[in-house]
Amino acid sequence: MPQNFLTRSVLACLAGCVFTFGFAPWAHGLLTLLALAALFCLWQTDSPKCALINGLLFGVGAFGIGVSWVFISVYQFGKANLAQAGSITLLFVLFWALFPAISGYCSTWLTRRNKTELRLASIALIWVVVEYVRGVWVLNGFPWLQTAYSQLQMPLAGYVPVIGSYGVNFLTAFTAAGLVYWLQNIAKRSFVITVVAGIWLAGALLKENDWSTAQNDSIKVALIQGNISQDQKWLPENRVKTLQFYKAQTQAHWDSDIVVWPETAVPALFEEVKESYLWPLAEEAEQNQTSLVVSVPMQSELPGKFYNALVVFGQGRGVYRKIHLLPFGEYMPLQPVSGFVLSQLGLNLGNFLPGRHDQPLPSAGKYFFTPSICYEDVFSDINNRYLNDSAFLVNVTNDAWFGDSLEPYQHLQMARMRAMETGRFLLRATNTGLTAIVSPKGEVVAQAPLFQPWVLTGTINPMSGMTPFVKYGGDKPMVYVIFALLLLLIIRLYFRGQRVS
């Protein structure tokens, strides 16, 4: 590795840029591994201060490309001007770039007196811990561009039904650290190759295993993609046209067992249209023995507050109110600062309340299913609820907010992970794309094109049985193992430091 600070900084930023090419729509997972290995290699000889800077630059490269779609949402649909949208996007990128910076600083500071293989172990472990904090806790969680999602086409994806996305995050970090160790230790190269190859071979074998069982039944489904532009969707003059579109497409597919509409397909409150529109459709669905899954906002018990909800009509029952709300869209974190900033921009956001965590599963026909709304499909815990009683997953979302960008592809890539973790088919209905049917192995069985009105039809099997990941508690066991390993590493470093002293 070059010793010049400027050269190393440029390499860190370039590695961050390359890192994003492992994610959809490109999905070259090997590039993400190599980029991560390059960063780890820089950190191996960095001081804590330099590791902080190089981690930040890596994050700027990765998030600057990977989440550039934020600009479209703020500028085109948030009605901010060019300077405001650019500033908000820059702040967004810099904020998430802090997490690789924190990883670099903590791991190099912890091993500032031990630049041996223990530093490499520290780098890999702290990377995974910080990624977990970013993906689950900070601002309600933001797991975009986590390394596991880049590996869906790779052998490591075989571990997903066993240890989940954070377990695969750990294995990708371990592999990247192994590459660095292989480069730096000629005498131990055969050992490193054996260990890494063994992990990857086991992953390839696990990929062939069926962790859940298809029931002796089939379900005919129709997923409606309305392709209603976000800036047109809520205009009062377009309401009737939108409602008529969904009604007509649904009536054309009463031969399906399940018809699913995308997130907030109904551009009105449930209370406003239930008598004139929804109840008549519900009766038709009942007569045709079809389960109609509709996403519609609902009035809450509090004035001026709403639920983002999903309702099943016809041959099914249930209401699901979104639990995991979108920060800065459905609720406002960091009050009162965020509220003040958005009021200056003239944006009225954050009027939604979360649903309860103990909501019962809705049913479609004789089967229960696990629902999720919007980006809830990127969180394992939402999709693992009561899975023993659930036959398939249903996600409704609206990625129209992000226009023609990387986001719809990334979002589908992440949703596929939930199908793999649970061993269930996933029905994913979106407003503008990418509407898809995903198999229990994470394969896209059928997909609608972006930005076209479409009805995606297909057949799925209800599934039974639980993957090891779900059976043994989801992410928790793997997270406990990672934190335990980190604690052991810290203890080892402490006693080694004592001996040196």
Helix 239-251, helix 279-287: angle, nearest 10? 10
Domains of the chain, CATH where assigned: 5-210+475-500 (no CATH), 213-466 (3.60.110.10)
Length of the chain: 501
Which helix (H) or strand (E) segment holds residue 161: the answer is: helix 160-184
Residue recorded with tokens 């906002």: 297
CB atoms within 10 A of CB 255: 12
| Token pair of 141 as six digits | 């969680």
- Residue 480 binned pLDDT confidence (cut-offs 50, 70, 90): confident
Rounded Cα distance between 218 and 223, Å, is 16
**Predicted confidence (pLDDT) per residue in 89-121, tens digit:** 999 999 999 999 999 999 999 887 766 677 888
**Predicted confidence (pLDDT) per residue in 200-258, tens digit:** 999 999 999 999 999 999 999 999 999 998 888 889 999 999 999 999 999 999 999 99
Q: φ and ψ at 222, to 5 degrees?
A: -140, 120
Inter-CA distances, 182 with 3, 107, 120, 175, 375, Å: 20, 20, 12, 10, 38
Does residue 53 have a pLDDT over 70?
yes
Q: Which residues contact 410 (CB under 8 A, 6 or more apart)?
A: 23, 24, 66, 144, 145, 149
What rounded mean pLDDT belongs to the chain?
A: 91
pLDDT value of position 169: 96
pLDDT value of position 350: 64
pTM, rounded to two decimals: 0.93
Rounded Cα distance between 145 and 219, Å, is 33
Range with lowest mean pLDDT among 261-265, 358-362, 476-480: 476-480
Report the amino acid identity of residue 214: A
pLDDT value of position 491: 79
Rounded Cα distance between 142 and 145, Å, is 9
pLDDT value of position 342: 58
- Residue 320 binned pLDDT confidence (cut-offs 50, 70, 90): very high
Rounded Cα distance between 349 and 330, Å, is 6
Rounded Cα distance between 413 and 61, Å, is 21
Rounded Cα distance between 258 and 318, Å, is 14
Q: φ and ψ at 459, to 5 degrees?
A: -130, 135
pLDDT value of position 494: 67
Residue recorded with tokens 């912890």: 110
**Cis upstream peptide for 434 (omega within 30°):** yes
Which residues are catalytic, by number?
263, 322, 374
Rounded Cα distance between 309 and 228, Å, is 19
